Amino acid sequence: MRGLKLILGVSAALGMAACSADWPQRLGYHAVQNAGQLQCQKAMSNDCERRQSYDAYQREREQLQ
């Protein structure tokens, strides 16, 4: 639980540092991605997938529209 709070705190700081209009979405995206990564690591899985960046995620979403 402590690790998750640290990850969320760092994500919040990075999101606010970006100072962009989409920072709430960016922060939420990173929080969900980091939580998923943490769960995968806790399960001691060797095949934790690499998470795509928020910018790559947004580009992919725009292409689908």
Q: For 28-34, what is the mean pLDDT?
A: 91
pTM of the model: 0.58
Lowest mean pLDDT among 4-8, 28-32, 45-49: 4-8
Instruction: Write down the pLDDT at residue 14.
Output: 64
Q: Which residues of 22-39 are buried (b: 16+ CB within 10 A; e: fewer)?
A: eeeebbebbbebbeeebe
Residue 57, both tokens: 């995620």
Contacting residues for 41 by C-beta, under 8 A, at least 6 apart = 48
Instruction: Write down the pLDDT at residue 21.
Output: 79
Largest CA distance in the chain: 38
Q: Is the pLDDT of residue 38 over 80?
A: yes
Give residue limits of the domains in the chain. 2-64
Query: 11 or 40: whose pLDDT is higher?
Result: 40
Alpha-carbon 22 to chain mean position: 14
